[in-house]
Amino acid sequence: MGAGEYNPLENAQEQFDGVAEIIGLDEATRQLLREPMREYHFLIPVKMDDGSTQVFKGFRVQHNDAKGPAKGGIRFHPEETADTVRALAMWMTWKCAVVDIPLGGGKGGIICDPRNLSENEQERLCRGWVRAVAKDVGPFVDVPAPDVMSSAKHMLWMLDEYETIHGGRYPGFITGKPVGMGGSLGRTEATGYGAIYTLREALKEENVDPATTSASFQGFGNVAQYAARLYLELGGKVIAVSSWDHADKKAYTFRNANGIDIEKLIEATDTFGSVDKDKARELGCEILDENAWLEQDVDILIPSALENQITAKNVDKISSQVKFIVEGANGPTTPDADVAIKERGIFMIPDFLANAGGVTCSYFEQVQSNTNYFWEKDEVLEKLDTKMTAAFKAVYELSKRNNLYMRDAAYVISINRVAQAVKMRGWA
């Protein structure tokens, strides 16, 4: 889904093959890491409210669990494909490895549109998914989480089904639970804040004062809103954000060259991250077309909406002023556009490093759930900062030492860590 002309699995394998070559990975390890180790495909029969039965297709892919239990979300989408789930599982392996948390990579999905299902039908679907894989997932095997169109509510139904089958309380089976029911404080902030922790370190290394910088965001949902808030705290100025307009079925860019009042813009935004045009105008924003966010004369671009947004077709529109790109979204840059960005010498903080704050906080949730002891929010955010800063520094140092593009350096670190775990276990 959302892949357009790009097959996400082929992309993921191409990136892997390139790095396997750079680090001279042996053939057996290459074979083990370029595909998922295990995958489950199953049918989920669901009794619908009208008495009929509808059969849904479900997946769980465990790409690699040499470093620890597989970890990754469950996506609900009508156009979900096995290749998308495989690619995302592989990216989860690299994401967990780059922040050095003891987890592997997994991903799941159900081909469905939850917007067309009643609450009861959604609950039966969630319980059906767990029944199909209950023996193959668990706190020490594979730990799911929410993802596209799945939420905390779905996670609790899934947890309840898992606990019913296994006869006990296993809150560490799943993450993304509501706070008070095993969820972690700080999860809402984690991805956006994590991205800005890495940006703060990049600016420091490059001797740039954040207070002299400006930024433009694509998207204004969970990731972008918290990233924008923290970026403002560093002293930066947000010139533009874009968002999807449900009524007009298109996206717009909202620009205020003097800097957007982010708190007020958040108040003018609905829970899906869509900005109200009239209220944005009242805040002094001009309303521009959907691509304008990319074309601004700013120092930093923070794509935080969707995959495949910076492409060969629009990469030339990036202003010569742009010096940093922080990929809040997963896969916002296509491989051909990435080559152009690399050639221009723009400092890239790649997605699986920049947005790893989410999974890092999910790991903290799992730790807290397994020990049944929950931390204060400050403690969570402090630990998050420590992990993200350490991850950034390791990637940055390698990129400087070996003259590597940041994305390649991040891959080298991740793949080396997983390859080492594979070898130490005697798998290759």
Q: Using CB under 6 A, list all residues that contact ligand NAD.
A: 191, 218-224, 242-244, 251, 273-274, 290, 304-306, 328-330, 355, 358
| Sole residue written with tokens 């002309």 | 5
362 is in an annotated binding site: yes
The answer to whether 273 and 224 have CB atoms below 8 angstroms apart is yes
Of the candidates 151, 118, 121, which has an alpha carbon nearest to the alpha carbon of residue 54? 121
Q: Is 161 or 307 the residue whose CB approaches ligand NAD more closely?
A: 307
The answer to whether 237 and 214 have CB atoms below 8 angstroms apart is yes
386 is in an annotated binding site: no
Q: Which residues pair with 315 in a beta bridge?
A: none
Report residue 406 as tokens: 């940041």
The pairing of strands 142-146 and 104-111 is: unpaired
* Spatial separation of the C-alpha atoms in residues 66 and 393, rounded to whole Å: 24
Q: Is 32 or 275 the residue whose CB approaches ligand NAD more closely?
A: 275
- Residues acting as catalytic residues: 107
29 is in an annotated binding site: no
The pairing of strands 53-64 and 104-111 is: antiparallel
71 is in an annotated binding site: yes
What is the closest distance, in whole angstroms, from the C-beta atom of residue 220 to ligand NAD in the complex? Answer: 4
What is the closest distance, in whole angstroms, from the C-beta atom of residue 25 to ligand NAD in the complex? Answer: 27
Q: Is 317 or 425 the residue whose CB approaches ligand NAD more closely?
A: 317
Instruction: Report the residue number whose CB is nearest to ligand NAD.
Output: 221
What is the closest distance, in whole angstroms, from the C-beta atom of residue 56 to ligand NAD in the complex? Answer: 22
64 is in an annotated binding site: no
Q: Is 73 or 128 the residue whose CB approaches ligand NAD more closely?
A: 73
The answer to whether 222 and 187 have CB atoms below 8 angstroms apart is no
Residues annotated in a binding site for substrate:
71, 95, 362
Residues annotated in a binding site:
71, 95, 191, 222, 362
